[in-house]
Amino acid sequence: THIPLSGRNPMLQEALGIRPHILVLNKMDLADPHRQPVSTGVLATSQSRPVRALLPVCLQIVPLVAKLVSNSPRYQRAENIEYCIMVIGVPNMGKSSLINSLRRLHLKKGKATAVGGEPGVTKAVLTRIQVCEKPLMYLVDTPGVLPPKLGDVETGMKLALCGAIRDHLVGEDIMADYLLYTLNKHQQFRYVQRYGLAEACDDIEHVLKRVALTLGKMQKVKVLTGTGNVNVTTLDYSAAAYELIRAFRAGHLGRVTLD
C-alpha cells in the first residue's frame, strides 16, 4: 500500500525496487490516531519517548529483517551468515535512536552513535554497528536524506515543523505562522488555554505576543537617541516562535497529523 507521506523520498522508493525493506514511521504517539495510514508490516517509533515506545518496535525488527532476508534467494549466502542493513530516512527522524535501542535491547550495550533533537547530528556514513548476536546483525547509520528539490512550499513547511530541516533555514516566525494555520485548520485549540488567549486566533503576531508574555520571553534592544544609547526591554518574538514550535513537537498542543 502506498503511503503518501511528505517525508518519503520518491527517489529512494524507486531505487529500492523489490529489495526487502522495512518502513518505520516516527512520532506515531504524537499524531492523530484517526488519521494514521494503515499498512501491513509498517512499524512506528517515537523519538520523544524512546525507551517506552521503541521497545516493542525493536522486538519486531530483528525477526522481521531475518525473515525478509532469508526469504530472498538473492541474499542467500551459506558462507556468510551475518546481516548488514543500512538505515536511511529524512533528518531527525530517530535513525540513530533506533540503532542505539536495538543495541541496548539485544546486546545490553550503551550508545554507539550520537543522537540529538535537531537535524544534521549524523554527518557521515558510520562503520558497521553490531546490534544483535543471534542472528549476527549489523546496522549502518547514515545522514538524513531529503529529495534534492521539494515539490512545493507546504511540503517544506511540514518537514521543517517535524525537525527535518534546520529551523533557521526556514525562519521560526514563518514556521510558527504555518503552525498556527495548521492548528486552527484541524481545530486544535489547546494553545488558547496554554498561553492564556481569550479565543482562537489566526493572527500570529497576537499569539506570539501572548506566548512571550506568558513565558517571560524578553530581550534588550539598544536604541540610538539624541542624548545617547538607551537599552529598551521588548518582547522577544523570535524566542516566542521557537517555544511555540517546541511545544508542538513535544505534543503539548495536541495530536496533529500534518499529512
Choose between 176 and 132: higher pLDDT: 176
202 has binding-site annotation: no
Task: Tell me the whole-structure pTM to 2 decimals.
Answer: 0.66
Q: Does 254 show up as a binding residue in the annotation? A: no
Given a cut of 80, whether residue 3 has pLDDT beyond it is no
Structural domain harbouring 181: 171-250
Is residue 92 annotated as involved in ligand binding? yes
Residue 149 located in a structural domain: no
Most confident of the following: 2-16, 42-56, 100-114, 132-146: 132-146
Pair 135, 216 in one domain: no
Tell me the average pLDDT across 39-46.
36
| 11 annotated to bind ligand | no
C-alpha separations of 91 from 127, 220, 223, 227 in Å: 19, 34, 40, 50
Provide the domain count of the chain.
2
222 is in an annotated binding site: no
Kindly state whether residues 62 and 102 are assigned to the same domain.
yes
Residue 89, number of CB atoms within 10 A of its CB = 21
- 94 and 25 assigned to the same domain: yes
Do 60 and 109 have their domain in common? yes
Report in angstroms the alpha-carbon separations of 113 from 85, 98, 102, 131, 216: 16, 10, 12, 12, 36
Mean pLDDT of 36-58: 45
Are residues 187 and 122 both part of a single domain? no
Based on the fold, state whether residues 110 and 29 are members of the same structural domain: yes
Question: The C-alpha cell of 71 is what?
Answer: 526469504
The annotation status of 175 as a binding-site residue, yes or no, is no
Classify residue 3: in a domain, yes or no. Answer: no
In CATH, what number is assigned to the domain containing residue 213? 1.10.1580.10
CA separation for the pair 152, 217 (Å, rounded): 33
State the cell numbers at 115.
543522537
CATH number of the domain encompassing residue 71 = 3.40.50
Inside any domain, residue 184: yes
Residues 70-94: tens digit of each pLDDT: 676 654 555 666 777 788 877 777 7
Flag the least confident range among 158-162, 210-214, 235-239.
158-162
| Predicted local distance difference test score (pLDDT) of residue 55 | 59
Which range (14-28, 69-83, 153-167, 174-188) has the least confidence? 69-83
For residue 153, tell me if it sits in a domain. no
User: Are residues 177 and 137 part of one domain?
Assistant: no
Distance CA 144, CA 9 (A): 11
